[in-house]
Amino acid sequence: MLNQKINIKIDGQNFVAQTGETILQVARKNKIDIPSLCYHPDLKVQASCRLCVVEIAGVKGLQTSCMTKVFDGMDVKTKSPQINKARQINLELIFAQHVEECDDCVWLDNCKLLKLAREYKVKIPRFVDRKQKFPVHQFGQSLIFDSKKCIDCGLCVEMCHRQGVDFLERQKKGNFFQVEPSKDPKKDCIYCGQCLVHCPVGAFEAVGEFEAIEKFLKQKNKVVVFQFAPSVRVSIGEEFGLEHGSIVTDQLVGAIKQLGVNYVFDVSVAADTTTIEEAGELLERLKTGKNLPMFTACCPGWVRYVEYFFPEFIPNLTTVRSPQMIMGGLIKTYWAKQQKIDPKNIYVVSVMPCVAKKTEIERPELKIKGIKPVDYVMTTRELARLLKKKNINLTKVKKQPADCPLGEPTGAGVIYGTTGGVMESALRSALYQLTGKKMAKPDFKAVRGNKDIKTAEVKIADKKLKIAVVNGNGNAYKILDELKQNPKAYDYIEVMACPGGCIGGGGQPMPVDDEIRQKRINSLYEIDQSKKIRLAEDSPIIQCLYRDFLVNKKDAELICHTRYYKQKKGNRVLKG
Amino acid sequence: MKNKLIQKIEKAKLVGRGGAGFLTHLKWQAMLDAKSSLKFLVCNGSEGERETYKDGYILTNYPEEVINGMRLAFENLGITKGYIYLKPEYFKIFAKKLKKIIGGLNIEIFEEYGGYLAGEETTLCNVIEGKLAMPRQKPPYPTDQGINNQPTLINNVETLYQISKIAKDKYQNIRFCSLAGEVKNKGVFELPATLTIEEILKQTKNYPNFEFFVQAGGGWSGSILLSSELNQAPAGTSGIIVYRKNSTTVMKLAEKLIDFFVSHNCDKCVPCREGTYRLQEMIKSKKIDELKFKDLIFTLENTSFCPYGKSLVIPFKDIYNKLLKC
């Protein structure tokens, strides 16, 4: 029977647990440390690292706590000479397949392996590294997979499967199965980076992480402009020891300025533009009945998934550019004109929660009059590393607001960072554009929350809009399958490839789990709630922008819209 | 629920003949009790143990008994679909013949892709589902959630043969012993299960007139026994391999065995993937570092995910203790 309360003992202490839980889950809940590398609460139990072994009174031998369910009266020991010996040997074996490159590792500040090595007095070089000649792979401009560091725990393969992609797979080479990108022409990486945030040993990193983080400092004679994504303000604090989800918008701006950057803009302002354009496009499509349902396209992982795996749905993607691209475009046109700077002399750096954004900026069709709107993307993690390297402590810097004129977003632009956020912002605007009415409480609670797929019927004026919000790319095919059966099942669909939306993105601080994602989400809604202006159209910045600059449709097309294409496979072997 | 055939199996004290030695009536009872509209049966003819041929022998000589054992499972346990799970060599030889005997029973002859681990029962479920040959976590046991998460009974070829005999009241506690290695009369012999290894070697006119040791119980994963240790029945799958002491280079034997285990494991868990590799490395270097060796054996035995890693240490421990140290 599930969910019955039972009593168990761990290391002599009594705990109440529930049937169906594993020993490891109960231990973690109660802050008892059992080492484990291959367990991630997001994913199915792998039980491959064999570090979480424990002893159970009355049961012969060592048992793995990640796969053993608790029973009433269970008496567990998490420490004994036998247990320690097993952990030590297995750690030594793991080290022998993990070529260390600690300086450059995404886990530098909180590496579980090194912590365990010290704790269990591991002789790291007891065996010769067997993976020294293993290849390094690059996926698009987004991800590096260094298989020399892989410990074969299986989490990335599992995560890639959960994302509905199955690009990473276990292939047999010689005597060993190893993780390899699929050679199947039907499969390719969508660059979501969820493998990276679920890898316990840093075998994945973003392209340029961390060797290229100072590139922008070397841009001679250029005006460097930073822009930061909605979700970064509620995640980067974690890198500096703050509570998960801490809101640090003004500290973030202050810290970037301390790097010597003069202009810092808020991508959420561009998100307000996205919202207006997208709501308008939705109403237009509803009027003509063409290319429905409309799909959001802010998430480059999701866009690539459609372009590569389901090109038949390309016409359904909104033509509106993602906020980072719109902002880059505005900086190099609108702002450049105001400042009388040649756009060629502006260098735009985005701080993004995402590794797919690194590939997005290379798309040729996004160029405006031959110029790339964004020159460089660094992830939340990369910026944090850079700040630490320069001894800039985010928690101590002088708070500063983002710069005018692209610095003050509405609440609608901020919630872009969570699943359901784009949908909610667009619904607020669609209602306004259609009726001229503003809601007293502009909350669409049906699209919020962590469910895999949220569906609802939303009444907008006399229209009933059927909407769906997909949280995590692995759930997208369910909706696409449904659409193949019933093309009119929905009018508008939001998909975010990463669980929880951008707050759970592949460029975000680690570790991450449901609880952490929820805290980040809560903070975004808190910001939205606290804003006086929560409708994109009410933003004075946006009003100016449309009055002075995006005057006719052609201008808006050039800066705010794009096209999509069937994509080719984008992985290659770098070394090995 | 009482079932006459299960009671008979229990009375005969039949244990699974695939090597793990689990009481057969318990599996059958679990299947009988399982509530599902789909129930699978697998006749396991994977026979991945090296130098063991008894399942092939039974399929050659008594295929009707095996199919009859399957039919009994269909009738008594409400099986809805059966598989005869064969390694490629056996599929080639037996598929056609078995198909004829199956008649109207809903049995598919399934060709697996070989390898030692493919015969392990949870791995077998994955293979039939078209997944990688990797073991699953237990529990749930296959009788709860096997193929496609439905109750699945997995019995060895010999076990099903014996069930047929039990049903016909013709069960005699005999075992099928494969004799291999340096013996005059190689092959499979039907002998009383109570015979000791020494008696088996003598009765089959295979007792060597030279100094020797044997590997008994499970092909290449069986125990190494010296000629003074043969007063016991062979365990597991009852096979016996005879090695001539003078002409067997112990390290070469160890190398042959470890090469086999390194290439046949699934690489899922650390001790078995890395541990066997490091054992191989050490054996190939011909220098056994005692502490390292013992550590590797320890972790394989105590922390491997599945029985493969836990049991493959047996011959290496024996080689070390009985052949190298003396």
Between these two residues, B149 and A3, which has the higher pLDDT value? B149
Cβ pair B269:A47 closer than 8 A: yes
Do B188 and B285 share a domain, yes or no? no
Chain A positions touching B278 (Cβ under 8 A) are: 93, 96, 127
Do B201 and B311 share a domain, yes or no? no
Q: Is B275 on the interface with A (CB under 8 A)?
A: yes
What does the pLDDT average to over A270-290? Answer: 97
Return the pLDDT at A268.
98
**DSSP strand E in A310-358: where?**
346-352
Check residue A559 and report its DSSP letter: H
Q: What is the largest CA-CA distance in chain A?
A: 79
Do B232 and B306 share a domain, yes or no? no
Is CATH 3.40.50.1780 the classification given to domain A216-560? yes
Q: Is A97 on the interface with B (CB under 8 A)?
A: yes
> For an interface test with A, which of B255, B265, B294, B302 has the most A Cβ atoms less than 10 Å from its Cβ?
B302
Q: Which of B148, B167, B186 is the last residue of a domain?
A: B167
Return the pLDDT at A414.
98
B278 → closest Cβ in A53, A85, A93: A93
CATH number at residue B210: 3.10.20.600
pLDDT of A509 above 90:
yes
Do B226 and B262 share a domain, yes or no? no
Return the pLDDT at A273.
97
B275 → closest Cβ in A61, A93, A130: A93
Do B158 and B219 share a domain, yes or no? no
Do B158 and B29 share a domain, yes or no? yes
**pLDDT over 70 for what percent of chain A?**
99
What single letter denotes the amino acid at residue B283? I
Q: Is B313 on the interface with A (CB under 8 A)?
A: no
Tokens, residue A280: 């308008």
Do B16 and B95 share a domain, yes or no? yes
Q: Which of B186, B217, B244 is the last residue of a domain?
A: B244
Cβ pair B269:A53 closer than 8 A: no
| A209-248 pLDDT, tens digit each | 999 999 999 998 999 999 999 999 999 999 999 999 999 9
A97 → closest Cβ in B274, B299, B304: B274
At the topology level of CATH, where does A103-110+125-211 sit?
A: Alpha-Beta Plaits (3.30.70)
* Nearest chain A residue to B295, by CA: A89
> For an interface test with A, which of B134, B136, B259, B269 has the most A Cβ atoms less than 10 Å from its Cβ?
B269
Which residue bears the tokens 């090469």? B259
Do B149 and B27 share a domain, yes or no? yes
d(CA A382, CA A380): 5
> What residues does each domain of chain A span?
5-93, 103-110+125-211, 216-560
Question: How many CB pairs lie under 8 A apart between chains A and B?
Answer: 75
> For an interface test with B, which of A23, A43, A48, A150 has the most B Cβ atoms less than 10 Å from its Cβ?
A48
A152 → closest Cβ in B267, B292, B298: B267
Return the pLDDT at B190.
97
* Nearest chain B residue to A51, by CA: B303
Chain B positions touching A176 (Cβ under 8 A) are: 267, 273, 277
Chain B positions touching A127 (Cβ under 8 A) are: 274, 278, 281
Tokens, residue A119: 């704790």
Return the pLDDT at A463.
86
Q: Which of B167, B192, B216 is the last residue of a domain?
A: B167
Q: What is the crossing angle of helices B54-61 and B63-77, to 10°? A: 90
Cβ pair A48:B270 closer than 8 A: yes
CATH number at residue B271: 1.20.1440.230
Per-chain mean pLDDT for chain A = 96
- Please give the tally of structural domains in chain B: 3
d(CA A64, CA B306): 12
The A residues from 8 to 37 touching B (CB cutoff 8 Å) are: none
Return the pLDDT at B326.
62
d(CA B27, CA B154): 9
Q: Is A200 on the interface with B (CB under 8 A)?
A: no
Do B136 and B49 share a domain, yes or no? yes
Nearest-Cα distance to chain B for A52, in Å, is: 10
What does the pLDDT average to over A481-504? Answer: 97
Return the pLDDT at A186.
96
Return the pLDDT at A181.
97
Pairing relationship of beta strands A168-173 and A176-181 according to DSSP bridges: antiparallel
What does the pLDDT average to over A459-463? Answer: 85
d(CA B77, CA A282): 58
| A388-437 pLDDT, tens digit each | 999 999 999 999 999 999 999 999 999 999 999 999 999 999 999 999 98
Return the pLDDT at B1.
65
Chain A positions touching B137 (Cβ under 8 A) are: 45, 47, 67
* Nearest chain A residue to B299, by CA: A86
Do B136 and B254 share a domain, yes or no? no
Return the pLDDT at A1.
54
Domain extent, residue B61, equals 4-167
Return the pLDDT at A538.
97
Cβ pair B298:A154 closer than 8 A: no
> For residue A492, what is the enclosing H or E element?
strand A492-496
From residue A32, how far is each of A25, A79, A528 by CA, in Å? 10, 11, 37
CATH number at residue B12: 3.40.50.11540
What are the pLDDT tens digits along chain B (326 aa)? 689 999 999 999 999 998 878 999 999 999 999 999 999 999 999 999 999 999 999 999 999 999 999 999 999 999 999 999 999 999 999 999 999 999 999 999 999 988 889 999 999 999 999 998 999 998 899 999 999 999 999 999 999 999 999 999 999 999 999 999 999 999 999 999 999 999 999 999 999 999 999 999 989 999 999 999 999 999 888 899 999 999 999 999 999 999 999 999 999 999 999 999 999 999 999 999 999 999 999 999 999 999 999 999 999 999 999 999 76
Do B11 and B109 share a domain, yes or no? yes
Cβ pair B303:A90 closer than 8 A: yes
Do B185 and B73 share a domain, yes or no? no
Nearest-Cα distance to chain A for B269, in Å, is: 4
Tokens, residue B262: 């390194």
Nearest-Cα distance to chain B for A120, in Å, is: 15
From residue B13, how far is each of B21, B22, B66, B238 by CA, in Å? 11, 10, 19, 17
Check residue A333 and report its DSSP letter: I
When the candidates are 1.10.357.10, 3.10.20.740, 3.90.1150.10, 1.10.3720.10, the CATH number that belongs to A5-93 is 3.10.20.740
| A318-367 pLDDT, tens digit each | 999 999 999 999 999 999 999 999 999 999 999 999 999 999 999 999 99
* CA dihedral sign of residues A34, A39, A40, A42: negative
Cβ pair B298:A89 closer than 8 A: yes
Return the pLDDT at A213.
95
Check residue A406 and report its DSSP letter: S
Q: Are A361 and A325 in contact (CB under 8 A)?
A: yes
